[in-house]
Amino acid sequence: MNIQHLKYLIYTAELGSINKAAQKLFLPQSTLSNVIKNIEEEFQYPLFKRTNKGIFLTDKGEKFISSAKIIYSEYEKMHTISKVSTVNDSLSISIFPSSFFSHCYFSFVRSNPCTNGCDTLIESVFTECMSDLIHYKSRIAVFYMTSNQRQRFNTIAEKYNIEMVLLKDKVKIMIMMSAFHELASCNEIDISELAKYKLVTYKNIDNRDFLDVCCIENQSNILYVNSRASFNDAISSGEYIAPSINIHPSMNSALNCVCKPLKNYHDMSEIYLLSLKNYNLNKREELFVEYLKMQLEDYYD
């Protein structure tokens, strides 16, 4: 058994299927089956019970996987020691596609330019933000979620050794639309009205999250896009609306759009900073986070 085999076993236990785990790990199913068989022979006790409904951990398997998770987590930490350390003042950020977050970045760098290295700004949804951190494409991430999503997202973050720090809570969810949309003259939009209109969202967002926010079941009126440019084009067309946190005022005129409060929806958004737990922000990253917190307090107070 080698250290990567622990990862294979963890995936298999979590997915409850050798086939699904093999697909996730990009392995032939026969290879994964042989790894499990060899490890069970090495330790001389079964880790999994095989049934027609899938595979399940035995009592000894539960204890084995619990230890495997600890060992593999420590192994990953050792690999991150050099990769997360920085010797320059660059910003390396993944942000949820948002005019507010991008505006804050560009406003910050005007007075705080990078002097050693180069900045990286990536737009990603939650799972992609975490992937960016895990694979060192970025060092910090800024993301928002509803309070109802917090526990599920926090569980995922814990699994991958990612820390979530609250930057701002109780941010109202708005409905974004073109200034020419028929709802633009309304003071607020009732949650029950959303199903009547065309909606746009990002393709790589978990479908459950979007449907839960909109409180709808029918997906026929939903357009899925994969970039903020396409998202903005859909809104600007006057055909689509979207749930969102309020956009930055500078973008209202640029996109010719408005945001209206969502009525009879009682959940709120929360904005978080994400980073690997053993990563220490460089000085300029610390300054950016403080600047972002001030902007959030001023605009979403």
* Domains (range + CATH), the chain: 3-83 (1.10.10.10), 92-300 (3.40.190.290)
Whether 1 contacts 59, CB under 8 Å: no
Of 263, 238, 102, 248, nearest in space to 175 by CA: 263
pLDDT at 129: 85
- How confident is residue 79, by pLDDT bands cut at 50, 70 and 90? low
Distance CA 163, CA 165 (A): 6
Per-residue pLDDT for 239 more than 90? yes
Angle, helix 18-25 to helix 29-43, in steps of 10 degrees? 110
Name the more confident of 222 and 287: 287
pLDDT at 272: 96
pLDDT at 215: 66
How many CB atoms sit inside 10 A of residue 103's CB? 17
Distance CA 301, CA 296 (A): 7
Strands 120-123 and 92-95: parallel
Region 268-273: mean pLDDT is: 93
Kindly report whether the global pTM for this prediction surpasses the value 0.75: no
Per-residue pLDDT for 59 more than 80? yes
Encode pLDDT of 179-217 as tens digits: 999 999 999 999 888 888 999 988 877 666 666 666 666
Region 268-277: mean pLDDT is: 92
pLDDT at 50: 87
pLDDT at 107: 93
